[in-house]
Amino acid sequence: MIDEISKPHYRRDTLERLSLSGICRATGVSLRWLLNFIAELYDTLPDDLFAQPPQRTTAHVRVLRLEAEADEMWSLVSSKANKHWIWIAMDTATKRVIAFYVGDRS
């Protein structure tokens, strides 16, 4: 059983963009346990992260605007007939993800 003291190490490892199988090999935990741990972390997040657009002001006029760029990519899931598209919208100034959608191309 994993004690509460070592859990921050697993959280840090997942934030370091290490592969899940690599974390399992290095720490000796099962992939099922690690996936359940990640699911528990995800459940603790608020539903709305309250993302705010960056404040852009000038000396005379305050103009609020959001410049965004969109990108798409696709991937096959299980077979060539099962294409899934990922659409991502990002703020051009901060490169923060504003929104994303996963689904068909329609």
What tens-digit pLDDT sequence spans the chain (106 residues)?
A: 455 555 777 777 777 777 888 888 888 888 898 888 888 888 887 777 666 666 665 555 556 677 888 888 888 777 787 788 888 888 888 888 888 888 877 7
pTM beyond 0.75: the answer is: no
**E strand intervals along 1-106:** 68-77, 79-91, 97-103
C-alpha distances (whole Å) from 56 to each of 37, 51, 61, 94, 99 are 39, 15, 10, 12, 20
